[in-house]
Amino acid sequence: MSLKIRLSRGGAKKRPFYRIVVADSRSPRDGRYIEKVGTFNPLLPRDSADRIQLDTDRVKHWLSNGALPTDRVLRFLDAEGLMKREPRNNPEKAKPGKKRLEREEAKRAAEEEKAAAAAEAEKDAAEKAAAETEADDAAAAEEEADEEATDAVADEEAKEASE
């Protein structure tokens, strides 16, 4: 008889409550069990003392008799310090496929190209604005020189007229 320490679901619809039980591995999830060794209430906050309750002496007894915990119960036992849970190898299922990688790379390249074009256009606009400012400054300097020349001519004419 292969023994498991596992969760047996109770509670109402959308309001789960679990018993931590020792059961024959062939019996149904919520079916007959040998002994109840604790409870788990996932609706309580993680830091609540009542979230997970274990009878550690009975758990140690059943572990020594060869009962194997399920993954979730193994997490609880690791948190209590009764067993050591080895880190799992995470499969690369979620890694995107080749076509998606190619599409993302093409999209990224297009965005970089667009950003480079925008930067170049901004640079050209800045150069054009600088050239316009220089032209405006040169025109203003030319106008000032013309005004000074006309003022000087007017001053000379005024001097000649007063003489």
pLDDT attached to residue 22: 96
Does any domain span residue 90? Answer: no
Does any domain span residue 89? Answer: no
Does any domain span residue 8? Answer: yes
Does any domain span residue 98? Answer: no
Alpha carbon of residue 34 to chain centroid: 44
Cα dist from 146 to 84, 125, 143, 153, whole Å: 93, 31, 5, 10
Alpha-carbon gap, residue 88 to 115, rounded angstroms? 42
pLDDT attached to residue 57: 94
Does any domain span residue 29? Answer: yes
Domain enclosing residue 14, as ranges: 3-80
**How many domains does the structure of the chain reveal?**
1
Task: List the chain pLDDT tens, one digit each, 163 residues.
Answer: 799 999 999 999 999 999 999 999 999 989 999 999 999 999 999 999 999 999 999 999 999 999 999 999 999 999 999 889 888 777 777 777 889 889 999 999 999 999 999 999 888 888 888 888 877 777 777 777 777 777 776 777 777 777 6
Q: What's the predicted TM-score (pTM) here?
A: 0.55
Alpha-carbon gap, residue 36 to 50, rounded angstroms? 16
Does any domain span residue 105? Answer: no
pLDDT attached to residue 48: 92
Retrieve residue 121's tokens: 């256009």
Does any domain span residue 91? Answer: no
Does any domain span residue 44? Answer: yes
Beta bridge partners of 23: 4
What's 28's domain CATH number? 3.30.1320.10
pLDDT attached to residue 163: 62
